[in-house]
Amino acid sequence: SFPAGMRGDHALIIPFTTSGHFIPLLDLTRHLVLRGLTVTVVATSDTLPLLSPLISDHPSSVKALVLPLCLEATSGWNDLTSCTRTAIRDLGTLHGPIRDWIAGHHSPPSVIISDMFSGWAHRLAQEVGIKSILFSPSGAMALSVIFSLWRDMPRPPPADMEDTAFAFPEIPNQPEYPWWQLSGLFRAHREGDPVSEFIKEAFLANIQSWGVVVNSFSELEGAYIDHLMKMVGHGRVWAVGPLLPVEPIVSSGQRGGISSILVEDLVSWLDSCGDRTVLYVCFGSQARLAEEQTAALASALEKSGVNFVWVVREDQPTKVALESFKDRVAGRGLVIRGWAPQLPILNHPAVDAFLTHCGWNSIMEALVAGVPMLAWPMGADQFVNATLIADQLKVARRVSEGASAIPDSDKLARAIREFINWEDCPERVRADVMRRAAADTMGHGGSSSENFDKMVKHARNKSYIL
Ligand code: UDP
């Protein structure tokens, strides 16, 4: 337990188990600790190792609340939505044990900060009479769409009409998506089904949370942040991004996973390439390409003739002879099998562009590094993110679309060749503007840094009144 003097400065953090959710909330937690708060982070035996570096850096202000929970594998790539639904439901069983822990704690938290997939935590906070803040690992535009979906519950189209468009007229720029591009969690909803109803209720609780913290910044998503304020309440939405680890970027090879390559080896490989000659290819922590997709991508990379670093998940099926492929691209292509140290890669001067699935963290990390993107949105909030970066901000160019799309390797090779090391690439110019905006917003007097202070002030204050 914490020293008695810490009363009122204690936050309970409830993360979700997958990397894309856990990593940014852990970064936020580290910033909270640096602002003088003590934190308890809910962990399972699976997620505890991800938390260990934070605990060993701040042993007196960070504690883990490890609760027994047998999670079914959440990284199953063949049915991501079903795995996520199961994990959301399983994590929800912690409601009672956490409430008991709070009731029995001599200096209970003044606030719960919970991931978007742990919406039940807002009800829990109400039960014990403390504030709850929703942490969104998605951007403000994507969160606006997610909120609208769960609030309005548009009815699914007939089975053979997956292309039917769904519009969001109240959201700035009135985005519109075919049904198949809407959040898989939402599309999997079945009225009356207990898991579906639990997830729906959790999302509705998210909308009613006391406040919302978003990993974004006003220069990037100002209109959407304002829109969220209209939904949630003015002064109750804090854009505090880009959230990044506090320690120097190059030393953080272990962020969110154990790197499959020594950061020094990787850096010396990149050092051997010319500045701005390398394409970085990675589709986040969850997506796995099917064999035909891997083959098409390998062929495109080979035909493009450019340097590349390509991250291939360990459990991704590849009958494609990656070994002989590696021989054919020797000297200019590096395949990392497993987990890559993404931040050191994106921030290396050799890296010129990023072929990404448009996961929100990957986008934020690319913008911080000033790296333009080739967009291949696959699922979750990624189609919305692609609208923002490709169609609106124009820091990315679309090259493929959909989790099962097999890109034409000639076209993709051409798109890559044209994009890399192009002096006047407009996407790069705009990515550089965003890089500077991202640095400014986190600096002294920047909007994200001020929002963070405001959020901490409210989190510390036990009163409900703003
Ligand atoms: N990541 C990494 N190495 C990998 C794959 C992913 O460090 O090999 C990190 C990446 O830097 C980002 C997160 O994992 O912080 C992935 O989050 P994102 O939102 O981009 O995608 P998701 O995994 O949620 O689909």
Please identify, by atom number, the ligand 1 atom nearest to the C-alpha of residue 338. 8
Q: Encode pLDDT of 100-113 as tens digits.
A: 999 998 889 999 99
Distance CA 41, CA 50 (A): 11
Quick: pLDDT tens for 392-417: 999 999 999 999 999 999 999 999 99
ipTM of the complex: 1.00
Helix H, strand E, coil C: the string for the chain is CCCHHHCCCEEEEECCCCHHHHHHHHHHHHHHHHCCCEEEEEECCCCHHHHHHHHHHCCCCEEEEECCCCCCCCCCCCCHHHHHHHHHHHHHCCHHHHHHHHHCCCCCCCEEEEEHHHCHHHHHHHHHCCEEEEEECCCHHHHHHHHHHHHHCCCCCCCCCCCCEEECCCCCCCCEEEHHHCCHHHHCCCCCCHHHHHHHHHHHHHHCCCEEEECCCHHHHHHHHHHHHHHHCCCCEEECCCCCCCCCHHHCCCCCCCCCCCHHHHHHHHHCCCCCCEEEEECCCCCCCCHHHHHHHHHHHHHHCCEEEEEECCCCCCCCCHHHHHHHCCCCEEEEECCCCHHHHHCCCCEEEEEECCCHHHHHHHHHHCCCEEECCCCCCHHHHHHHHHHHCCCEEECCCCCCCCCCHHHHHHHHHHHCCCCCCHHHHHHHHHHHHHHHHHCCCCHHHHHHHHHHHHHHCCCCCC
- Residue 230 is predicted with a pLDDT of 95
Average model confidence (pLDDT) across the chain: 91
Structure confidence by residue, pLDDT tens digits, 341-387: 999 999 999 999 999 999 999 999 999 999 999 999 999 999 999 99
pLDDT at residue 235, as a whole number: 87
Residue 359 CB less than 6 A away from ligand 1 = yes
pLDDT at 140 over 70: yes
278 closest CA partner among 367, 186, 348: 348
Ligand 1 mean position, distance from CA 102 (Å): 32
pLDDT at 120 over 60: yes
Q: Residue 311 Cα, ligand 1 centroid: separation in angstroms?
A: 11
Q: Which two tokens stand for residue 465?
A: 């009144």
Q: What is the pLDDT of residue 69?
A: 79
Whether the predicted pLDDT of 74 surpasses 50: no
Residue of 358, 362, 367, 371 with the most ligand 1 atoms within 8 Å of its CB, for mutation: 362
Higher pLDDT, 254 or 137: 137
Query: What mean pLDDT do residues 117-129 have?
Result: 95
Ligand 1 contact via 286 beta carbon (within 6 Å): yes
In this prediction the pTM is 0.95
Residue 37: what pLDDT? 94
pLDDT of residue 17: 87
Q: Using a 6 Å cutoff on CB, does residue 19 contact ligand 1?
A: yes
- Report CA(217)–ligand 1 centroid distance (Å): 19
- pLDDT at position 466 is 40
Q: Which atom of ligand 1 is nearest to the CA of 380?
A: 25
35-70 pLDDT, tens digit per residue, is: 999 999 999 888 898 898 899 989 999 999 999 876
